[in-house]
Amino acid sequence: MTTDHTAAATALLQDLIRNACVNDGRPESGEEIRSADLLTGYLEGAGLDIERYEPQPGRRSVLAKIEGSDPNAPSLLLMGHTDVVPVNVDGWSRDPFSGELVDGMVWGRGAVDMLNLTASMAVAFRQLADSGFKPKGTISYLAVADEEARGVWGADWLIDHELDDVKADYVITESGGFQVATANGTRLPVMVEEKGTFWSKLTVRGTPGHASSPYKTDNALITAAEVVRRLAEFQPPPELSGTWRRLVEGLGLPDELLEEEGFSETIDRMPLGFGRIAHSCTHTTFAPTVVHGGTKTNVIPDQVQIEVDIRTLPGQSGEHAQKLLHEAVGADLLEKVDIESGDDPSSRSEIDTPLWDALGRVTSRLCEGSALVPWLMTGATDNRFFRRAGSVGYGFGLFSERLKFEDYMTMFHGNDERVDQESLGLSTDPWLAIAEEFVGPHSG
Ligand SMILES: [Zn+2]
């Protein structure tokens, strides 16, 4: 790690945070054009040509390429998103959009999701361009808009409309690379698989009436409350095979985490951040998040809408998720509920690939004695669009020992999001080493 990289990544991250490209799901939110232009200015300084894509005003993504000399050599895309999720300012100890640097930590929304990597990838890419890097395989840098609302104006759109430009054999984006200390040495999780979404809108029906005489009325809000209660209580059995098993074994975690019997009690005893990961990696989860309903204080409501964030496990079909949702709501209430769902299934990449091997070699040098372990991500990333288009997609970014796995999970979309500067410097190095070894003049 050089202090130059640390300083450059810190400054870039602070500017990205200050741009506050908050994506609340509306087409006109995000305004990633500000960070797209910031990154364009930064990369153009190295003489790179930048492609711009703006399918919706303000939702700009940018692509920079260093063309390879051998069209048969594997191509690699480093991808970061520029948007962030909204904040609740009351929960923060500092201004979430000031990008303050305090005791070696950069504070702000996006500090770990994932403006840190968007910045460190740009710093590495500029360094490659400045040094006149001549790879065999093409290496690209893509800063995308709209990752936080399903990539409609970002990765999903680019894959649909600009596939020739953005397609790569291998893609690296968020997330992973926390140093986990185990009896066998440091282990670095790499995201190879991500859960699917089955976001559902439940419309609960009732019968309108005068609220001054509520006796035995068919109140949609009261039915909705029961639906929410059932969803919160619903607990399908854990799924303890596949990537979860490889992660538990790779990290040397307790065997109880692979046993259905007593699984809940086991995760109950563990730190909350870890318990959350363990629970969501092994279950289809149901989180009621939005409710709308009622018209007036004196009117019995005849309609209430509940939005539920359902996350499906790898290999689970939409039909399976629907079956679980019906089971959770219960046959007696289903007749009062209309359900609309959107299925965005899970995705995964294999680990017997040349990139996995190269990443393992590079990181074991940077972080002595470390080894990679495959990890299942509970949220969705833009990797899914690229995997579906045939790329191998991993989530990775090297972090220092100061930032723990469970801290990361609590800060992700949470309060007081921040990252240490050492991580920013450290996360720049793998990109440079991978460029050299995997697509570069020294690739095998
Ligand atoms: Zn993210």
pLDDT in tens, 152-204: 999 999 999 999 999 999 999 998 999 999 999 999 999 999 999 999 999 99
pLDDT of residue 98: 96
pLDDT at 7 over 60: yes
Residue 25 predicted with pLDDT over 80: yes
Kindly state the tokens that stand for 395.
């989530």
Answer yes or no: is pLDDT of 442 > 50.
yes
> How far does the centroid of ligand 1 lie from the alpha carbon of residue 129, in Å?
26
Q: Give the pLDDT of residue 281.
A: 93
For residue range 292-343, what is the model confidence (pLDDT) as tens digits?
Answer: 999 999 999 999 999 999 999 988 999 999 999 999 999 999 999 999 999 9
The two structure tokens encoding residue 247: 């992660």
The Å distance, Cα 318 to ligand 1 centre, comes to: 24
Torsion of CA 103, 109, 110, 116, to 10 degrees: -20
Does residue 1 carry a pLDDT above 60? no
Cα separation, 172 vs 79, whole angstroms: 6
Q: Name the band, by pLDDT with cuts 50, 70 and 90, for residue 278.
A: very high
Distance 243 CA to ligand 1 centre (A): 21
Which whole-number Å values give the CA distances from 419 to 18, 123, 162, 192, in the listed order?
Answer: 15, 17, 33, 23
Ligand 1: centre distance to CA 147 (Å): 7
The mean pLDDT of 198-222, rounded to a whole number, is 97
Q: Point out which residues pair with 285 in neighbouring strands.
A: 311
**Over the chain, what is the mean pLDDT?**
94
| Structure confidence at residue 412 (pLDDT) | 84
**Single pTM value for the model:** 0.87
> What distance in angstroms lies between residue 113's CA and the mean position of ligand 1's atoms?
4
Q: What is the 3-state secondary structure (H, E, C) of the chain?
A: CCHHHHHHHHHHHHHHHHCCCECCCCCCCCCCHHHHHHHHHHHHCCCCCEEEECCCCCCCEEEEEECCCCCCCCCEEEEEECCECCCCHHHCCCCCCCCCEECCEEECCCCCCCHHHHHHHHHHHHHHHHCCCCCCCCEEEEEECCHHHCCCCCHHHHHHHCHHHHCCCEEEECCECCCEEECCEEEEEEEEEECEEEEEEEEEECCCEECCCCCCCCCHHHHHHHHHHHHHHCCCCCCCCHHHHHHHHHHCCCHHHHCCCCHHHHHHCCCHHHHHHHHHHHCCEEEEEEEEECCCCCEECCEEEEEEEEEECCCCCHHHHHHHHHHHHCHHHHCCEEEEEEEECCEECCCCCHHHHHHHHHHHHHCCCCEEEEEEECCCCCHHHHHHCCCEEEECCCCCCCCCHHHHHHHCCCCCCEEEHHHHHHHHHHHHHHHHHHHCCCCC
Cα(148) to centroid(ligand 1), Å: 7
Query: Which residues fall within 8 angstroms of residue 198, CB to CB, at 6 or more apart?
Result: 310, 311, 312, 318, 321, 322, 325, 341, 342, 343, 344
Residues having C-beta closer than 5 Å to ion ligand 1: 113-114, 174
pLDDT of 277 reads 86
User: How far is the centre of ligand 1, averaged over its atoms, from the C-alpha of 406 (Å)?
Assistant: 16
pLDDT in tens, 34-55: 999 999 999 998 889 899 999 9
Contact 358, 434 (CB under 8 A): yes
Checking if the pLDDT of 410 tops 90, the result is no
Could you give the percent of the chain with pLDDT greater than 90?
Answer: 87
pLDDT given for residue 441 in this prediction: 85
Q: What pLDDT, on a 0 to 100 scale, did the predictor assign at position 274?
A: 83
What pLDDT is recorded for position 241?
Answer: 87
**pLDDT of amino acid 372:** 97
Give residue 193's pLDDT.
95
Res. 359: pLDDT tops 80: yes
